[in-house]
Structure formats: C-alpha cells, structure tokens
Structure 1
Amino acid sequence: MMEKYSPQEINLTKYLFFTGKGGVGKTTVASATAISLADAGHRVMIVSTDPASNLQDVFKVSLTNQPKPIPNISGLFAANFDPVIAANEYREQVIQPYRGVLPKEAIQNMAEQLSGSCTVEIAAFDEFANFLTSSKINQQFDYIIFDTAPTGHTLRMLQLPSAWSNYLDKNDRGASCLGQLAGLNDKKAMYQKAVETLGNPQATTLFLVTRPQKGALLEAQRASHELAALNINNQQLIINGILNQPTDAVSQTIFKQQQADLQNMPVTLDQLPKLAIPLRAYNVLGLANLRLLLKDQQPQITEEPVTASHFPDLDVVVKNLVQSNKKIIFTMGKGGVGKTTVAVQIAQKIAAQHKTVHLATTDPADHLKYFKITSPLIKVSHIDEKKSLKEYQNEVLTTAKKTMKSNDVDYVAEDLRSPCTQEIAVFRAFAELVAQNDSDVVVVDTAPTGHTLLLLNSTQSYAQEVAHTSGSVPQAVVNLLPRLQDPKQTEIVMVTLPEATPVYESMRLDDDLKRASLAHTWWVVNQSMLATQTTDPCLLARVQSEVKWIDQVKELSNNHFAVMQWQPNYEKTLLTV
C-alpha cells in the first residue's frame, strides 16, 4: 500500500514544484500543501502560472504577480502570474524594434511565431526564475510552492549556448518557437541559476501529480523522462483521487479500473517515491475542505441527490453535420478528454447515413487501434507522427546547414523538437491526406491548433514577400487553409469534460480557433456521470459538480452542445457498426 501524502511527515525542500496533466488536481494539492505548512507555523509562498489556475477562487481573494497575504491563514502568501498577458507584453517588446524596418508581412509572421504555447512557457519560466533566484524572496519564506512547473522543452531551450538574437530574421519557415528568446541575453545568468536550482535535490523537489488512470500516468511518465534527461531527478509521484471503498456497481467498476492501471504503472514511475491522496466524498473547494484534504479526519457528508437532466446527445451533432454536408470534421480538445471516442462515434453515425468516411488520427498512441470498426464505408488511417516529424526536421536542418553557422544549427535543431514544430509536421501530412479526396467526409482525431494555421498562413505571406525559397509552403497546405476557414465545408467539434480545468482549457482553445477564423460551432461534454444513478458518496460529489460545467458549456456554445454518458474503460471499448 502506498504511503499517504502528508507534508508534515516527509522531508521537504525549500522549493516545491507541482506539475502534471491538466485536471489531475495540481492546484488543489499545491494549495492544500501550502495551507498545511502555514498552519504548522511556517511562512509559505504559493505561486501559480497556470492560465487556467483557480488559485484566486481557492483563496477567495484577488491575486496579482506580487505576494499577497491570505486572510485567515497566518503566514501564507500567494501570487498568480498570468503568462498569457506576460507573453503578450514580451511579444510586443521583441517586435517593436522591427516595426518600420521589416515589411508588414514579416512583422505579422514574427507576431504569430511569438503567439504559441512555447512563448507562454518562456513567459511563465521568466516569472518562476525571478522567484527562484531572488535573495529577498528566499529570506522571506520557509517554503516556496509552485503550481505548474516548466517543461523539459522549456529548460532545454534555456540551456542552449547558441545565439539568442538574429534568429528571427533568418528563420522564414514559420516553425520557430524560439523567436521569443531573442534579446534575452541579459537574463541568461538568471535563467542558468534557476535551472541549477531546479536540479539541486537539496533545494528543490518536483512532485509529479497524476490520477490513477492510464492516460494521466503516461503523461507523468513523459514529464519524468523529459526532466530526468536534464539531470532533474529529484522527483516524487503523487497519485491523487484514489477510490478506496467502493459502495455500488459504478464505483466498483472505477475501483477495479484504477487498481489495474496502478498495477500496470510504467516502470520508471513505479521506481519513484509514491504518495497517495484518497478520492474525497465532497468537492474540494474552500479553505475548510482544503484543510481536511490531507488529514485523516473528514467532515460528515450530507448526500444531496442530483436529478439527471435531459441534455442533447451526439446524434444531434451528427444530424447537423450531415444535413449541412460537412466535408472535414475535427475532434479537438486537450489530452484525456476522449477525442478518439467521439471521432469514432461521429464516423460511425455518418457512415450509417450511407456516406463514405476517412477516419484518421495524428495521435502517436493511435487509440483507433482499440476500436473494432467493421463498416466497409469507413477507411481508417494513422498519420505517423514520428515519421512526419523526422522528414520535416531533416528537410529544415538540411537547408539550415547551407546558410547558418554551427551554433545556430544547434539552435534550430532544438527548435525542431518543440511542440509547434510537431504540429506543423503533422499538419502538413494531414494536408496531403485531405488532398487525396478519397471519401465523402474526412474525420480527424487530433486537429491542428489555430496557432499552427495562422503560423502557416503568415509564413506563406512572408515567403512571398522575401526571397527565401526555403519559406515555401506545400500546395496541399495552400489549398487546405481556405477550406478549413470555410464553415460550409469544415466543422471543429470541441471535446471537453464536465470539470473546471478541461473547460477552461477548451475556452482558450476556442479563442485560438476564433483568432484563426476557423469553423467551430459544436461542443461535446464527454464522460458525464449524471446519468449513472450512482449512490457512492465519492462519485456523488463529482456528479453534483458536473452541472455547473455543463451549464457553462451550454452558454459558451450558444446551446450547440451534446453530453455523452460515462462509460467504463471507454478507451478500450470495442465499437462496431
């Protein structure tokens, strides 16, 4: 049996990072840790740079990027950085010197390069670094807690010795995530010290927060490998939300699934120190409940039955897609929300209307292999992400070696391991797939982001303006972009869960799509437990909280939404037509 996570009973370092996949409870665990340490008489600072952070809601106080005392908890201070705002400010700082110097198309290209997730990562790390290296902060607090740690990709970028300037001018391919590093030479020493602190086991501990579920465990493994590759091995695993005492058929099913996933945990994770937090039979909101989360004593629960509301189902969405004669359909959403399940069911329901469907996935895990699809009207394919990425990397590096110095080539090589490069490589492969036009409808599991599309679009304009042949865009991409922006041909179905973090992340994704003028109307709330009729106290707490988030999606979608009921083992469910 795993040791229970109790901050008072383990040796803690001064700096504590909590990281993990969205929705695993990072903010909850970090906040409960901060309260526990403050209640024990320590001076504690908790910092969040998660754009979807609910730290302000947790403590019921407005927060900024400056330490603010939390009422009713002596010794506890909090700050909430907004990396999106910081990234916007930094983007303008980088671009300003080029205004009036470079063509309008070049400025547009630079702005889009600096609009991706990697820029946000750097902005977040900039805030982290200020706290990690500040002697004033160090002296003022006994513990400094960070909600959301920098990724291995961000740390690798900051460790590179290559030049951090002039790259933006040279790169006309549109794949760069590293343009945001231009002009950061004055902060290089601070970043180096911050990275060294992260890797110091006497100073820092990284808690990988996960759920007892296969997808979350695999994501924790990926993060662990990335950090270990940078010699950041001071890691511990916190498994949040373990159901220990099932009381009905639904909870029994979840209990068995959790235990199976934990028993088959990746070996590298299993070797880490492991700590457990039980699933609680109440919504972990408010100071009182957070104080109890990590304790053995729990409040008396008053069960409040929830009447399952009648929500539209997936048939409503598919009926509209068929009637409006959509040609390209994406299922989009953050990892773990069930995009593949929704994509498969959409493809099957469309095929039932006697239309041919090309069902494709760009997910390297290829979850389509878990589904038995027998309809002769459905063609299934898997875009090989690794192969597409490798081909694209080789193409870019070959060109770079012809025109750049070795340091800058190293710089580009690191850039090509970024998430944005992966998006572009996969998108190019998808563009070729759609160009084949071998079916009535193409349904794609895992779509490119709006940032990727804008980046390709701005790169195309930039390449036409400047004489760099390496900036060319494949004809398949040129033809596809207008189709994706045509609501008569394309629909992006946003998939989310009835929980805070997945909904907040979907809202940011929605903004991204609007910025790229992409056709997006429908939302699907997946894995809802409202209709299960569970009587288990722990699961009832989840059921009661779902209504708020389903109502939020209803409003966001202007009533264009559907709700899919929870299914056990949904990733491995065999579906047939």
Structure 2
Amino acid sequence: MNFLDHPPRFFFFTGKGGVGKTSIACATAVKLADAGKRVLLVSTDPASNVGQVFGVAIGNAITAIVAVPNLFALEIDPQAAAQTYRDRIVGPVRGVLPDTVVRGIEEQLSGACTTEIAAFDEFTALLVDSALTADYDHVLFDTAPTGHTIRLLQLPGAWSGFLAEGKGDASCLGPLAGLEKQREQYKAAVDALADAARTRLVLVARAQASTLREVARTHEELADIGLRQQYLVINGVLPEGAAGDDELAAAVFAREQAAITTIPDALKALPRDQIALKSFNLVGLDALHHLLDNVETLAEHPAATNAEPIVAPTLATLVDEIAADAHGLVMVMGKGGVGKTTLAAAVAVELAHRGLPVHLTTSDPAAHLTETLSETLENLSVSRIDPHAETERYRQHVLETKGAKLDAQGRALLKEDLRSPCTEEIAVFQAFSRIIREAGKKFVVMDTAPTGHTLLLLDATGAYHREIARQMDDKGIHFTTPMMQLQDPKQTKVLLVTLAETTPVLEAANLQDDLRRAGIEPWAWIINNSIAAARTCSPLLLQRAANERREIDAVAKVHAQRYALVPLLKDEPVGEENLRALSQSQATTNAEADL
C-alpha cells in the first residue's frame, strides 16, 4: 500500500459515509502495531463503529486493545462533544435573554459545523506536542475536518463581537463564539495538519464516478489551504476473478473499471491504492489482517447461501401511492454517494410514464443524468439549477447588503461565513422555492434538498417569508411559504435514500431526526443498489447480500414508516428504460417475513 510507505506520525482518513474509511483506519492501526509501533487510533466519526470492529467497548478515554499489543483507541462522541460545547456557550445567557433568542442561538449551534468544530476542539490536543500523545509513534484519526472548518480556524479573532452585532447571516460562524482561549492551540494543530513531514491525508472512495468526483472536490478544497500530502485509496473494488459467469458481477466489474479509467484529472497525480471488495464483514482481527492484503480465498465464502432475492416493497409500490394524489412535491434526500439523484429521476420518469405531469428539478452536476434526461419525454419537464451560480449570486447579495458597512475584518469573517456548506443549501433552495408553487397542479420532484438545520435557521430569521413576500410584491395577499408546505404531509412527501450498509443507514436516521426537529416527517425510505434484491450466483456477492439483511431489517422495522428496496442492476441506470427498471425487482410483495 502506497499510503503506508514511510508512515508519518499523523494519519487522517476522510471520505463519505459507507466508503470504508473506519475499516481502513483500523486495519492500518493493526498493521503499524504489528510492526512494533505504539499506535493511538482516534475516531470522531458520528457513525463510529471502531469498538464493534475490535469487539471492545471504547469510549471517551484511551483504551488498550488487548488483542493487539501496542494498539490503543479513543472514540470521541461528536454529539456529546457538541452538546457540551453548546452548553458552554448558551448556558451564560439562559434566563438573561428572551427564550426565543436563546432558541435561535441553540438552533444556530445545532448543525453539522458545530459538531465538527466541537470534535476538532476535542482532538486538537492530540495533534500538538502534549502528554496525551507523547508515548505514541503514530496517531490515526478516523474522519478529518473539512477545509471549511480549517479555514474558519485560520481567520482572525472577534467571532463573538461579529455575531453579537448581528453581522452574520444563516451561519456556521456561531460555533466559533468563545474560542479565543484555544486559538494558539488551534494554530499549532492547523500547522501540524499542513506539515507533510508529520501528517498524511488518506482520501477514501469507492469505484463510482459520483464518489470519485466528490473526492476530487475534497482534494482540491484541502490542497487550496495547504494540506497537500494526500493519498487516494479506492476501496471495495470487485476483483475480476469474482465475476466469473455471473452477469451482474461482470457488469459491476466493467462499470467500476470504467470509473477508475476515467478518474477526475485532479486525482490522477495522487499516489493511489486499490483495495479489493471482501465478502466478509470487517469485524475482528482476522478480517482486519486480510483487508489490506487483497487476498481472499473461496473458502472464506460460506458454502450454503440463500440465492433467492429478498422479498420487499419495490419503488413502484411507493410510486403507486404517490401517483394517487395526482400532484404534489416529492423531495428526495440523502447523504452523498447513495444515488438520490438517479432515484429522483426514476420517480419522475415512472410518474410521467403513468400520464401524470411532472417537473424534475435537480442541482446535481452529474453529466450522465443530464445526458439521460436531455431527451424529450412525454409529461416530463426538467430543470437543472447550477449550484455554483446560485451560490455566487446569493453571496454577492449578502455582501452588498449586510457586508456594505463592515470593516475589512468583518468582511473577511462574512466571506468565510458565506463559504460554509449551509450557504449552498440556502442558495439552491431559494432557487428551488421558485418552482415549488407548481406542485399545486403537477408533480414536482426535487433532488438535493437542504437539511432540517438549514431550514430551521432560515425559518427563524424569516428569510423565506420576506423573500416570497418581496417576489409577490403585495404583502396584503395571503401566501404559503416553502417551509409551511414542507411541513404539510398532504403537500410534500420526503423520500430518504440510503444503502444497505451500517454507516449510510445511521446517517439517514440522523438526517431523519434533523428533519423531525424542523417539523418535517419523512414519508418513506428507499434502500438503493441492494445486492440482496438482485439475482446473482457470485459467491462473493451472495455473501455481501447476506450481510445486507440486518440493515434492511433495521430500516423496515425500526426507522421507516414505509420503505422500498431497489436492486443493484446489471445495466447503468441511464435512459428512460433503465431508469424505469429501478422501479421493478424480482420480488413484488411486502416482506418482512423473509428478512
């Protein structure tokens, strides 16, 4: 493995949920410890399962992994860290400021940026020379801070004054209030991150075009702020020998090799490793020892595996219920890499095929979808919102209004505030909001929607209300805001997309909680690219299918009011026919009994 050559003291593993960064971090820790190095493995992943991987209870205290001499682990609970962090900031103003103001501050501190900064606050001490890490040769971090967080920590002080004077917008600067005491430690930590002799960033991806594009954006964002010591690991690549005579496995192999061949230019110069897809769950030392070896024998595949696809509701079942309303807003949401854009297109195409008028709107830049839906389909209209153009338009508007009277330092803070992940969500949703009104007379299928945190921030400031009132240019007319429409289950159906894997399911559950705080109840879950719902005779894929069943069971019985299972298909979901195929599967009836 290239990324293990001449290992530095610090490793950071980063990537979207479900790509396998925790498993790779654990396997790396074991390999270094086996080589006689004293290793500390630290996880700040909200979906961390490091303890599960090693079969040891790990908490917010350094714990020895008894089965691996020289290995120690620490799990920082980011949610607990964020709550402690919020209490530290909000506590002094409770009972002093009006309750509505306190609730607004709490909501500003409820987003992903607060969680990330709170976790960074916890592990910065591990990045600088201290008694905590003095005895370790290597410190490995499962999950790295984003470029946005690091840029925030590099900006000048005066966070509290900037926020207190109301100069910020719907922001991610709020989490930085009251951090002046740690600024020297933060500077040392950021310096350590940028030092190629001390720190190596490992970007973990899957052999999928969309995932590789996402990693390319992460690479460029981190490189722009000086974090250039990066390695790329493409995980879970189907071995050629596993395809055999199985049509599905052969198609997956060809698809993955095409994605690797056409890797984004930004990633081509990075040192690269590939890790073969394994049939077994990556739990326990035997599994970890094999992960980086790229060796797997057929003996590791169980001899007896149920080859029949799982019986579960299909996407067509959900579309039947949606179509019965004749019109409405359908929001398709989910974390990156789960296929929500493709499924939004599949829902729209299926509704249009039934003779219903549909407007599909997306901000996803995926070229294959643009090509797929560039053809004219009866009853279907498509709009593509350019998130970069919309975000730049929004930034300029805020700078020309709120930023007009700020000094140089204030404008620097505001500009960074406007580079937060929330800003793009706000800008894109404002563009979406112009289309939402159509849902009263046709179906509007919306891809790439904002989180509940962002919606609550905007609703609290009245931004949507004022914007729509301004567009109507008549405050005397009654109107319904997008937020009100999203909260009405008769007008809006939210579909959460996930994969049948532990981390994506947990991330979708967290997103569901986030939406519920905003008064939005998800209508259904869609489990995408399921091997368990497909027909295969590949021993490796059959075992992967067996591993999926626990996660499908959790969605069906714990998380979702209703759900659908979409099979992994042999053909790429491009074109009307292949998109419609996503609505069908081998099984067509309701089926917890087979789980």
User: Same-fold call, TM > 0.5?
Assistant: yes
Q: 1:46 to 1:573 in 2, by over 3 A?
A: farther
CA-to-aligned-CA distance 1:295-333 (integer Å, 9 cap, x gap): 366463233322322111012111222234561110111
The structural deviation recorded for 1:268 is 2.3
* Counterpart Cα distance in 1 of 2:494 and 2:445: 10
Aligned to 2:332: 331
Residue pairs, 1:104-123, within 5 angstroms: 104-123=99-118
Aligned to 1:361: 362
Paired residue secondary structure (2:160): coil
* Counterpart Cα distance in 2 of 1:201 and 1:171: 39
Aligned to 2:498: 496
TM, length-normalised to structure 2: 0.90
The structural deviation recorded for 1:194 is 0.4
The residue type equivalent to 2:329 in the other structure is: I
The structural deviation recorded for 1:139 is 1.6
* Counterpart Cα distance in 2 of 1:6 and 1:422: 33
CA-to-aligned-CA distance 1:474-525 (integer Å, 9 cap, x gap): 4379622111101111110111111111111101101111111113121111
CA-to-aligned-CA distance 1:372-392 (integer Å, 9 cap, x gap): 454331111112212221111
* Counterpart Cα distance in 2 of 1:406 and 1:173: 14
Does residue 229 of structure 2 align to residue 229 of structure 1? no
Does residue 262 of structure 2 align to residue 264 of structure 1? yes
Q: 1:170 to 1:471 in 2, by over 3 A?
A: farther
Aligned to 1:91: 86
CA contact (8 A) 1:24 1:211 kept: yes
Residue pairs, 1:228-377, within 5 angstroms: 228-244=223-239, 245=241, 246-247=243-244, 248-295=246-293, 298=296, 300-301=299-300, 302-306=302-306, 307-324=308-325, 327-365=328-366, 368-372=369-373, 374-377=376-379
The residue type equivalent to 2:461 in the other structure is: T
Aligned to 2:583: none
Paired residue secondary structure (1:570): coil
The structural deviation recorded for 1:107 is 1.9
Query: Which of 111, 123, 133 in structure 1 is aligned with 2:128?
Result: 133
* Counterpart Cα distance in 2 of 1:389 and 1:93: 32
Which range is displaced more, 361-370 or 75-84? Answer: 361-370
Does residue 408 of structure 2 align to residue 406 of structure 1? yes
CA contact (8 A) 1:172 1:471 kept: no
The structural deviation recorded for 1:214 is 1.2
Q: 1:259 to 1:177 in 2, by over 3 A?
A: same
CA-to-aligned-CA distance 1:447-472 (integer Å, 9 cap, x gap): 22111111111112xx8xxxxxx995
The structural deviation recorded for 1:124 is 1.9
Paired residue secondary structure (2:231): strand
Does residue 212 of structure 2 align to residue 213 of structure 1? no
Paired residue secondary structure (2:304): coil
RMSD: 2.2
* Counterpart Cα distance in 2 of 1:5 and 1:326: 53
CA contact (8 A) 1:36 1:291 kept: yes
TM, length-normalised to structure 1: 0.93
CA contact (8 A) 1:522 1:557 kept: no
Query: Which of 45, 48, 52 in structure 1 is aligned with 2:47?
Result: 52
The residue type equivalent to 1:267 in the other structure is: D
The structural deviation recorded for 1:163 is 1.8
Query: Which of 442, 445, 454 in structure 2 is aligned with 1:443?
Result: 445
Q: 1:371 to 1:556 in 2, by over 3 A?
A: farther
The structural deviation recorded for 1:570 is 3.3
The structural deviation recorded for 1:94 is 1.4
* Counterpart Cα distance in 2 of 1:276 and 1:194: 30
* Counterpart Cα distance in 2 of 1:72 and 1:489: 55
The structural deviation recorded for 1:404 is 2.2
Residue pairs, 1:148-187, within 5 angstroms: 148-171=143-166, 174-187=169-182
User: Unaligned stretches of 5+ in structure 1?
Assistant: 464-469
Paired residue secondary structure (1:77): strand
CA contact (8 A) 1:209 1:239 kept: yes
The residue type equivalent to 1:305 in the other structure is: T
Which range is displaced more, 116-125 or 567-576? Answer: 567-576
The structural deviation recorded for 1:278 is 1.7
Paired residue secondary structure (1:227): helix
Paired residue secondary structure (1:530): coil
CA contact (8 A) 1:327 1:489 kept: yes
CA contact (8 A) 1:58 1:286 kept: yes
User: Unaligned stretches of 5+ in structure 2?
Assistant: 472-478, 581-595
The structural deviation recorded for 1:573 is 4.4
* Counterpart Cα distance in 2 of 1:270 and 1:198: 22
Paired residue secondary structure (1:403): coil
CA contact (8 A) 2:403 2:414 kept: no
CA contact (8 A) 1:6 1:295 kept: no
The structural deviation recorded for 1:149 is 0.7
* Counterpart Cα distance in 2 of 1:459 and 1:519: 22
Paired residue secondary structure (1:125): helix
The residue type equivalent to 1:289 in the other structure is: A
* Counterpart Cα distance in 2 of 1:288 and 1:574: 45
CA-to-aligned-CA distance 1:96-116 (integer Å, 9 cap, x gap): 233344333322222111111
The residue type equivalent to 1:166 in the other structure is: G
Aligned to 1:540: 542
Paired residue secondary structure (1:540): helix
* Counterpart Cα distance in 2 of 1:446 and 1:258: 24
* Counterpart Cα distance in 2 of 1:168 and 1:286: 48
* Counterpart Cα distance in 1 of 2:378 and 2:325: 23
Percent of pairs identical after alignment? 41
